[in-house]
Amino acid sequence: MKLLRYVLIAAVLFTAFCYLNNTSLFSTPEEGKPVLLAHRGLHQTFTHHDLKSDTCTATRIYPPEHEFIENTLPSIDAAFRAGADIVELDVHPTTDGHFAVFHDWTLGCRTEGKGVTRDHTLAELKALDIGYGYTADGGMTFPLRGKGVGLMPTLDEVLARFPDKRFLINVKGDDPEEGKLLAARIEGLSPDERNLLMVYGGKQPIAELNARLPDIKVMSRDTLKRCGLTYLAVGWTGYVPQACRNTLLLVPANYAGLLWGWPERFLQRMRAAGSDVFVTGNFSAGDPGTSGIDDATSLAAIPKGFAGGIWTNRIDRIGPAVREAARLKLDD
């Protein structure tokens, strides 16, 4: 009986410590509005129903509300004007030493071209119509066909056009050589310019880039897994493991509540460790796509006063909504 009493007292004390050390009730929310990350810029969105990793998403877009094509200079510009703080883009090395900004591993879905994107020269990629394959009615009409000729930019063109803007660069392949090549490109930037960039992608290229440029925040599925598992194990103490430091964290909205200290204490801990946190849409094992905070309902589920990052596919909706919320807060 005596031992049982001690065990119960220890359990109560442990529970009380965990609660007091991780509750946000006694934390003061940080000032400021959420940091908005526009996935693919302002782009054509699509249904995620029965989506598979090799599904051609250009053939399942919703009826277009605008003519912007993802990963283009006009799309990026429109995203920033809509309120994005960061724009995510995808890169592939070309056979002649450039980085083309384009989403797909192959060309046949969105363009009239064929083959693997990285197996082409820049000139070959520039000649393509990247709006060629988009259809909202099963192929009866192609509303963007002919409007994307020559619009595939290079990473150099993006950085030159938006020298003071923040970007999240997605390395599409898992070849370590891509990490080396991208590191060599980023090394030529000033420290202030490098500070505007984050990079994510496959385990091997991200490890290579991180080894060469440890000041750049990086993320891969491997870094996310290591951070998540170790933080779940020790985060109750307030300790931030090394795997969670100077990195990028994507937190599905339906799993955020599992994190020790969510939201305020978690954000404060990660910010102090040099990491950026972005809430994405709900994770679903049957959806290989990247869902975002894309409508009023999912935005309303974000904790009040949240000053972390929000990942969205609809910056045209979320940007104005966040601006309006900030205005109303100032008017109170």
Rounded to whole angstroms, the Cα distance separating 177 from 205 reads: 7
- How do residues 147-204 score in pLDDT, each as one tens digit? 999 999 999 999 999 999 999 999 999 999 999 999 999 999 999 999 999 999 999 9
Q: List, in sequence order, every residue forming a beta bridge with 91; answer none if it has no partner.
A: 101, 171
> What's the pLDDT at 292?
95
> What's the pLDDT at 287?
65
> What's the pLDDT at 112?
98
> What's the pLDDT at 186?
96
Rounded to whole angstroms, the Cα distance separating 294 from 299 reads: 7
CB of 103 closer than 8 Å to CB of 71: yes
For each of the domains in the chain, give its residue range(s) and CATH number, in order of start: 35-331 (3.20.20.190)
CB of 307 closer than 8 Å to CB of 32: yes
The helix (H) or strand (E) run that includes residue 316 is helix 315-331
CB of 71 closer than 8 Å to CB of 102: yes
Structure tokens at 69: 């094509």
Q: Which residue has the tokens 């990660």?
A: 270
> What's the pLDDT at 4?
75
In this prediction the pTM is 0.94
> What's the pLDDT at 13?
79
In terms of Cα–Cα distance, which of 113, 120, 72 is closest to 94? 120
Using 50 as the pLDDT threshold, list the residues of the chain that sit under it: none
